[in-house]
Amino acid sequence: MEEDDAQKSIRGACLCGAVVFECVGAPVHFNLCHCTMCQKFHGAMLGPYVWFKAAQVTMVQGHDYESIYDSSQWASRSFCRRCGSSLRYIYHKEPDMRFMAAGIFEGDIGLKPVRHIFVKDKCAWFEIEDGLPQVAAWVQSDLPEAIANTPTEDS
């Protein structure tokens, strides 16, 4: 009994539970970003992001708790202002894409990352041993058409 991918939904919430997202259908992409801004923002060795089209993502609750920080000229990042959880990456050149911090999703979401990006900035104490493709910064060659306009700057 397989559930149709198009109907499958996954739920994401911050640590305190104030902000809740629901994402419906198969994601566009899932990457692991090693840029220094992701390291800082997540307080971790990398930033894991699951990409969805805007229409696939609903904020179920917590609009008043999502704070947005402009981390560069081309992107912003959001977090829960009550518990500090990382929530989303907002890329201004792709306003129809939602880059969701993978750690907010609950349980086994049935998704695996596709590749590592910005490996040139990887932190020294972490080794990549999962065999996934790695790119120094960012390349668009193997990405879907919907996200063909991609950043060349550090994310």
Nearer to Zn ion, 25 or 44 (CB): 44
Q: Tell me how far, at minimum, the Cβ of 13 lies from Zn ion, in Å.
A: 8
Q: Tell me how far, at minimum, the Cβ of 15 lies from Zn ion, in Å.
A: 5
The burial of 27, by beta-carbon neighbours within 10 Å (0-12 exposed, 13-18 middle, 19 or more buried), is given as buried
Nearer to Zn ion, 80 or 97 (CB): 80
How far from 135 is each of 17, 93, 101, 124, 152, CA to CA, in Å? Answer: 34, 21, 20, 17, 12
Q: Tell me how far, at minimum, the Cβ of 35 lies from Zn ion, in Å.
A: 3
Nearer to Zn ion, 14 or 97 (CB): 14
Residue recorded with tokens 């907010």: 104
Q: Tell me how far, at minimum, the Cβ of 117 lies from Zn ion, in Å.
A: 7
Which chain residues interact with Zn ion by CB under 5 A? 14, 16, 18, 33, 35, 38, 47, 80, 82-83, 155
Please give the Cα distance from 45 to 35 (Å, whole number): 9
Nearer to Zn ion, 31 or 56 (CB): 31
Please give the Cα distance from 48 to 8 (Å, whole number): 20
